[in-house]
A = this chain, B = another copy of it.
Amino acid sequence: MAAPMSCCRRALLQRFRGQSYCIRPPVRLSSSISKILNGDVEKTELSVTGWVKSVRDQKEVAFLHMNDGSCNEHLQVVARPEMVENVTYGSYVKVKGQLVDSPKDGQTFELLAEDLKLIGSCDPDVYPFKPRTHHPLVYGREYPHLRPRTNIFGAAMRIRNAATMALHSFFQQEGYLHVHTPVITTNDCEGAGEVFRVEPHRKEIMEDIKKEDEKEGDSSNPHFFSAPAFLTVSGQLHLEVLTGAFSKVYTFGPTFRAENSRDRLHLAEFYMVEAELTDTHSLHDLTEVIEKTVKHTTEALLTNCQSDMKTYFKHVAPSEHHTHLKEMLSNDFKSITYTEAIEILIKHNEELTFKLQWGDDLKKEHEKFLVSHFGSLPLFVTDFPLELKPFYARSNEDGKTAAAVDLLVPDVGELFGGTIREERYDILREKINKLGLEADLMWYLDLRRFGSAPHGGFGMGFERYLQYVLGLQNIRDTIPFPRTVRSCRL
């Protein structure tokens, strides 16, 4: 007599109807260490995989710390010494065992190993990271393919993920539509610095393209896109198109600068969160959203990434950084006009290397001075001289200043920049004419010609935000694969 078919097996077979070529194995039970340590997993037999963070081999028992990247904490595995014979720091193992309460203080659970399999070995003499060592951040940058395995960079990446999700959830809750603005663009009108040009790598492809064009007549255009094409420096103009249909939109994508910047604050490829909204009456409509964006995101990180944030407070950020963030959260951001800022800076002329007068742009030095002058908390500076801002910034009634705002934060300086956009057709057309851009920006003027809505928006450098919130000196430690002049590793 055949053994009766198990209920589970029968259910599995019933899932497949008609002609089917493969029966799938049942789902395996493998648990992430973050779930285990959170108590989200039943205390039973488990299978766990991960990298070994330390091995302590004692006479009768061996202790192993495992990490799978799902959280900052390691899972302690208690094993028989012979199980860990060839297991070294950095190797990848699979452990089957019983999850039990840990007798050790500050540790919730531990795994009593019944079976331990070394899957990927690691020669500790060659592996560039060592156990129980705080490698300097600059050292980690030399190994972009391995530094994600370090505790400190691992924490940064989990915080980066949490910040990304907090930003999405904030804008979605506030009724903003997420949109993808293009990376490649033929618009190079903003004048926001140096740009990268984009061309097909294989020149011969243009011959194929021209051959196909011939059928339709003109085949003379030398550009892949029929016009010179660049990597975007900002999604703003495209966001304005979309806010002209959806009222509130945001984008969160890569932007580029082909600049010779080798300092601690610039990348050639970085992420920007940009938002655009209609029905704006004054800069307050922007500063309100900006302040909420910073606070919502930072609160989410302090709540949801406690252990990872603690790593940064303890090992990386300046002392009192946690206190600073809490103070930032409980205070309204202050706001001064550019004109007031200049008055203050002139009053403190002797403390500054670069002296300023009305009309000059603020340098990093001045931004830092102003932030510190106002209690080392985030500070809005508003209503900059028209000449300092691009053509699309709305002119204020005084005829001298534009409805533009920057948010300055300690150490990092400018974190956000935004403007109310010029929505008045005649005024905008005149500005565009003066720049000789009328032919290129006909479509942009159309947005004001057909159902023009008062609107404005802002952009935040995402890596700058991470630098600020983590208290990180160098922006290259906020992104998995930093791209800067002279460096594009991997």
A residues whose Cβ falls under 8 Å from a Cβ of B: 15-22, 24-25, 27-28, 30, 32, 34-35, 49-52, 68-70, 90-92, 94, 119-123, 126-127, 144-146, 148-149, 154, 157-158, 160-161, 164-165, 168, 172, 175, 177-188, 194-202, 205, 208-209, 212-213, 221, 224-231, 237-238, 241-242, 244-248, 253-254, 256, 258-260, 262, 268-269, 271, 278-279, 281-282, 284, 287-288, 331-332, 334-337, 340, 374-375, 382, 423, 443-444, 446-454, 479-481, 483, 485-490
B-side contacts of A154, CB under 8 Å? 245-246
Are B157 and A481 closer than 8 Å at their CB atoms?
A: no
Question: Which listed residue (B90, B158, B451, B486) contacts A120, Cβ 8 A?
Answer: B451
- 8 additional A-B residue pairs with CB within 8 Å, beyond A25-B284, A160-B180, A202-B258: A19-B374, A20-B334, A21-B335, A119-B452, A119-B454, A168-B168, A238-B480, A241-B480
B-side contacts of A52, CB under 8 Å? 451
Least distance between A303 CB and chain B CB atoms (Å): 16
A195 to B201, CA, bound (A): 6
B-side contacts of A268, CB under 8 Å? 184, 224-225
Least distance between A209 CB and chain B CB atoms (Å): 5
Question: Which listed residue (B180, B201, B284, B481) contacts A230, Cβ 8 A?
Answer: B201
Are A332 and B15 closer than 8 Å at their CB atoms?
A: yes
B-side contacts of A248, CB under 8 Å? 32, 70
Residue of chain B at shortest CB distance from A282 = B25
Q: A205-B258, A226-B487 are in contact. Are A334 and B148 (CB under 8 A)?
A: no
Least distance between A410 CB and chain B CB atoms (Å): 16
Are A200 and B202 closer than 8 Å at their CB atoms?
A: no
Q: A127-B450, A260-B209, A451-B91 are in contact. Are A244 and B149 (CB under 8 A)?
A: yes
Are B258 and A201 closer than 8 Å at their CB atoms?
A: yes
A144, A186, A453 interface centre (most CB from chain B within 10 Å): A453
Are B21 and A70 closer than 8 Å at their CB atoms?
A: no
Question: Which listed residue (B178, B182, B205, B260) contacts A165, Cβ 8 A?
Answer: B178
Q: A21-B340, A27-B288, A337-B21 are in contact. Are A269 and B199 (CB under 8 A)?
A: no
Least distance between A71 CB and chain B CB atoms (Å): 10
Are B334 and A258 closer than 8 Å at their CB atoms?
A: no
Q: A196-B199, A198-B197, A331-B17 are in contact. Are A488 and B185 (CB under 8 A)?
A: yes
Are B196 and A196 closer than 8 Å at their CB atoms?
A: no
Question: Which listed residue (B34, B195, B488) contacts A229, Cβ 8 A?
Answer: B488
B-side contacts of A279, CB under 8 Å? 30, 49, 94
B-side contacts of A197, CB under 8 Å? 198-201
Q: A288-B27, A336-B22 are in contact. Are A185 and B452 (CB under 8 A)?
A: no
Least distance between A413 CB and chain B CB atoms (Å): 19
A50 to B454, CA, bound (A): 11
B-side contacts of A199, CB under 8 Å? 196-197, 199
